[in-house]
Structure 1
Amino acid sequence: MRMIYLSPVPWASFSQRPHHFVDWYHHRTGATVLWIDPYPTRLPTLDDFRRKPPVANPQNTNAPAWLRVCKPHSLPIEPLPGSALVLKRLWRNLFREVMAFSAEKPCMMCIAKPSELALQLLARIPASRAVYDAMDDFPAFYQGLSRRSMARRQTQLIQRVDKVLASSSPLRDKLLGMTDQIELALNACDMQRLAPVESLDLGPKQQVIGYVGTLGHWFDWDLVIALAQANPGNRIKLIGPLFTPPRRVLPANIELLPECAHAGAIAAMATFSVGLIPFKLNRLTASVDPIKYYEYRALGLPVLTTRFGEMALRDKEPGVWIVDEDTDLRKAATDALASRSDRSAIQQFREAHRWAVRFSSINLTGCALETPQAP
């Protein structure tokens, strides 16, 4: 059964959950996938004009033979009343391409972000099975009219699909109020991009506590500064785009480094002694299962993390130190830095948390996953 996949990220971006999902689906079915790149689903903000473009990563510039990429024409007006009338005119060619694709053979649809386009396609292909892969609490990323618009479209989407996949336990529990056709499908890690287990440096290294990722408004600067002050003999290395700068002078042992391509980020992680996930506790982080966790642990790193999202449920997992308000930051860092990972345990973790393993465990009844079909 062919697939139409509405992605929240462009095909040309570095490989993320959507890329691994369609790759898994193709290799399980042999079917062709029509990938639809995202378009703006909120009104623009001043920050959009201040941000630098992301570091280029050309790994997905070429699509495989079994995948077609569509780029919708659009304007950043979706939350405005009446915008659908304008957008539908811009999408006429896309509608024709999708209808031709779905007319050739039976087709299912996977929607990885709520949008007016997704609702329009569901209405045009009512006979297709449809899945909503809820990767995040999407309304939490927006404000005002854009948030209300996204919440409304997500509710409409959930009412129209056959199944919802939730990327974290808290998100599943939240969406259970809208549907009982929901299944947990946690995040995972692209193990092929990591160095072989036998080549990992599992010794003490330089006792660096490190973070790789965006430093946005969810990043807990107060915690990181307190951690640095409690452990003046250790370096804290922060790598990524700085969207929300700290409001005070940083201790000398905090090092800020610019964003790098994904391969460079993974290489940088391998030099850490401890992986850090210092996220604030708010609506945005409450539904998150951070891929950083899987990358850190797959590299043999212990993890220092706040009690947010799926991480709140990992306080008994090996190699995880949860940091709360009353945590002794000196002791937590010392204990994490002193811990050592076993190569066989790392290999077992990698095998258990591959994307293909994750997706193979979900039940997409009626989607012909057992026998590959010709594209």
Structure 2
Amino acid sequence: MKILYFAPIPYNGLKQRPQFIAELLAQRHEVYYIDPTRSVFKFKNCDFRSARYDPLPNLHVLRLSGIFTAYRSLEPFDFLHLNTISERVQLRNLASTCDLIWVGYPLWYYVVFLMKGKKFIYDKMDDNALIIQNRLLRRLILKVEPKIIQRADLIFVTAQQFYEDIEKQKPTTYLVPNAVCKEIPLLKSFKSDPGKKIFGYVGTISHWFDFDAIHAILGADERNYIVLVGPNEMPEIKHSRLSYRGIVPHGKIPEVIQEFDVCLYTFCKSPLLDTIDPVKIYEYLAQNKPVLAVKSRETEKFGGMLSLYNGIDELKEIAQKDFEEPFQTEEKRRQFVAENCWQARVKSIALRLEED
């Protein structure tokens, strides 16, 4: 089967759900991973030309030329859909010969909406209307996502909230949570200074990140230190016991996690929170690290494996305590990884594709 996989993120970016799923589908199918198009206007200092490379024998990464593509945020006013003509022309041959169209991001809609007669899959990874700050893009997402849902033959969602909202209108909706890489090794933990308790976070730092929680942890005990790892989109906090590491390669994440005594999932309480199935928590647990996380529908499902807090006062109290490893035996840790790895998730996806 030939699959056109319209991805939300570039293949060579931080490795997440889209890349893992595409790679595993490519073990049995021919997959064309379509990177987000780089507009000639938006990326003046970047390469907006088309590109193609093959990371695996059956996985082909394709970036369309953006020389005739303007900002996506203008598409609410593009009633003739002129902005996507160039992309549709470039995909004409692939679209006519593919068997399945996989959409991982709503803003691809006006590129794929004329591709008829193909099995259509929507993989809803995030609530993009809540994540995106651009008002015009949010408006476009709210306009086109219902059309994608109506068009889709199958829908895969990451969060229980998504499932409950969408399954009512589309019975062929299935919950496929995020996961962890099965091949990630369990590294030996090390502690550079027994007098310090290091709390660490791995992930993007943006408007959803709870800085009050960071201040609360630092204020709970003078032995508490915090390390933030990942791209930062917010003003930096200046504190002697807090440090920023910046971006690290995905393969180095287990090594970084092992430096932490406690791993953090400190997001703000908001409508967005219950829609996030955090990949980072799977990665933390795969390294058998204690996890301190804000309570949400998606963190409660991990049960006693996490230390959950509801508010700042509860967080301060927990941050003063000692933490235990989530798995008392290596067998239990391995079982968790086996049940929550990307291979298991794609196996369930493949079964649905065969049934449909």
TM-score, structure 2 as length reference: 0.85
Q: 1:212 and 2:199 equivalent? A: no
Counterpart amino acid of residue 267 in structure 2 = F
- Report what 1:298 is aligned to: 286
Q: Against the structure 1 CA distance between its residues 367 and 338, is the aligned structure 2 distance closer, same or farther, given a 3 Å change threshold? A: closer
Q: 1:346 and 2:333 equivalent? A: yes
Runs of 4+ in 1 over 4 A off after TM superposition: 202-206, 363-366
Q: Against the structure 1 CA distance between its residues 25 and 264, is the aligned structure 2 distance closer, same or farther, given a 3 Å change threshold? A: closer
Please report how far the alpha carbon of residue 138 of structure 1 lies from its aligned counterpart in structure 2 after TM superposition.
Answer: 1.5
How many correspondences in the alignment?
A: 342
- Report what 1:189 is aligned to: 180
What CA RMSD, in Å, does the superposition of the two structures yield over aligned residues?
A: 3.0
Counterpart amino acid of residue 36 in structure 1 = I
Q: 1:95 and 2:91 equivalent? A: yes
After TM superposition, the structure 1 = structure 2 runs for residues 25-104 of structure 1, keeping only pairs within 5 Å, are 25-27=25-27, 30-39=28-37, 62-72=54-64, 73=66, 74-77=69-72, 78-82=74-78, 85-102=81-98
CA distance in 2, matches of 1:334, 1:112: 41
Q: Against the structure 1 CA distance between its residues 33 and 346, is the aligned structure 2 distance closer, same or farther, given a 3 Å change threshold? A: same
Please report how far the alpha carbon of residue 183 of structure 1 lies from its aligned counterpart in structure 2 after TM superposition.
Answer: 0.7
CA distance in 1, matches of 2:88, 2:119: 23
- Counterpart pick for 1:160 among 145, 151, 158: 151
Please report how far the alpha carbon of residue 242 of structure 1 lies from its aligned counterpart in structure 2 after TM superposition.
Answer: 2.2
- Report what 2:49 is aligned to: none
CA distance in 1, matches of 2:147, 2:266: 34
Q: Secondary structure in 1 aligned to 2:304?
A: coil
Q: 1:180 and 2:167 equivalent? A: no
- Report what 1:9 is aligned to: 9
- Counterpart pick for 1:111 among 80, 100, 103: 103
Q: 1:269 and 2:257 equivalent? A: yes
- Report what 1:137 is aligned to: 127
Counterpart amino acid of residue 37 in structure 1 = D
Q: Against the structure 1 CA distance between its residues 330 and 242, is the aligned structure 2 distance closer, same or farther, given a 3 Å change threshold? A: same
- Report what 1:322 is aligned to: 308
Q: Against the structure 1 CA distance between its residues 156 and 40, is the aligned structure 2 distance closer, same or farther, given a 3 Å change threshold? A: farther
- Report what 2:21 is aligned to: 21
Q: RCO (CA 8 Å, sep 6+): is it higher in 1 or 2?
A: 1
The CA deviation string for residues 48-96 of structure 1, in whole angstroms up to 9 with x for no partner, is 99xx99xxxxxx9752121222212332145331265322332243232
CA distance in 2, matches of 1:364, 1:128: 18
CA distance in 1, matches of 2:325, 2:355: 45
The CA deviation string for residues 282-313 of structure 1, in whole angstroms up to 9 with x for no partner, is 23333110110000000010110112351144
Please report how far the alpha carbon of residue 324 of structure 1 lies from its aligned counterpart in structure 2 after TM superposition.
Answer: 1.4
Q: Is the 8 A contact 1:204 1:273 kept in 2?
A: no
Q: Is the 8 A contact 1:129 1:162 kept in 2?
A: yes
Counterpart amino acid of residue 229 in structure 1 = G
- Counterpart pick for 2:217 among 227, 240, 244: 227
Please report how far the alpha carbon of residue 40 of structure 1 lies from its aligned counterpart in structure 2 after TM superposition.
Answer: 6.7
Counterpart amino acid of residue 189 in structure 1 = V
CA distance in 2, matches of 1:221, 1:71: 36
Q: Is the 8 A contact 1:205 1:273 kept in 2?
A: no
Q: Against the structure 1 CA distance between its residues 260 and 227, is the aligned structure 2 distance closer, same or farther, given a 3 Å change threshold? A: same
Q: Against the structure 1 CA distance between its residues 262 and 339, is the aligned structure 2 distance closer, same or farther, given a 3 Å change threshold? A: closer
Counterpart amino acid of residue 22 in structure 1 = A
Q: Against the structure 1 CA distance between its residues 62 and 109, is the aligned structure 2 distance closer, same or farther, given a 3 Å change threshold? A: closer
- Report what 2:228 is aligned to: 238
TM-score, structure 1 as length reference: 0.81
Q: Against the structure 1 CA distance between its residues 145 and 240, is the aligned structure 2 distance closer, same or farther, given a 3 Å change threshold? A: same
